[in-house]
């Protein structure tokens, strides 16, 4: 699955991307988040406890961003890009092939009200052929 949106974020923790839910205790969210004054690309992986990985991408602010999560074999592969750039690997997350999971776009602004994020596309795609 992939989503495209404009990352017009300005407040701490404004964010958008893809959310994958296995259960209330097992989920993944991946996308772009405004943290510490800049856009960051990353993921939160929760399996009982959460961890957060991210990398600064300040040039992505106000850009059209594509986030893709592919499920293949025993993993989710997360990739993202801005504009016409190349997809870059963000994270590989283990997921049992027998597990049922649901996915869709998300928007969140936990520190304020009124965030609007224009989504340009939400597509189901064939999984990427390689983990990385």
Domain ranges of the chain: 2-123
Q: What's the pLDDT band for 127 if we cut at 50, 70, 90?
A: confident
| Dist. CA 110–CA 14, nearest whole Å | 7
pLDDT number for residue 90: 96
pLDDT number for residue 61: 95
Q: Which residues contact 37 (CB under 8 A, 6 or more apart)?
A: none
| Dist. CA 90–CA 87, nearest whole Å | 9
pTM for this one?
A: 0.94
Class of domain 2-123 as given by CATH: mainly beta
pLDDT number for residue 30: 98
Of 97, 94, 103, 100, nearest to 124 by C-alpha is 103
Over residues 29-44, the mean pLDDT reads 97
Q: In this predicted model, what pLDDT tens digit does every residue of 73-109 receive, in sequence order?
A: 999 999 999 999 999 999 999 999 999 999 999 999 9
pLDDT number for residue 132: 61
């Amino acid at each position: 699955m992939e989503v495209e949106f404009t990352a017009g974020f300005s407040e701490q923790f404004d964010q958008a991307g893809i959310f994958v839910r296995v259960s209330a205790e097992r989920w993944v969210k991946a996308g772009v988040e405004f943290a510490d004054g800049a856009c960051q690309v990353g993921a939160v992986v929760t399996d009982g406890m959460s961890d957060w990985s991210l990398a600064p991408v300040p040039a992505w602010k106000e850009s059209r961003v594509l986030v893709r999560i592919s499920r293949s074999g025993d993993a989710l592969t997360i990739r993202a890009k801005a504009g016409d750039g190349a997809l870059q690997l963000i994270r590989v997350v283990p997921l049992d092939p027998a597990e049922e999971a649901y996915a869709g776009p998300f928007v969140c602004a936990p520190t304020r009200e009124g965030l609007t994020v224009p989504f340009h596309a939400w597509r189901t795609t064939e999984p990427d052929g390689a983990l990385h």
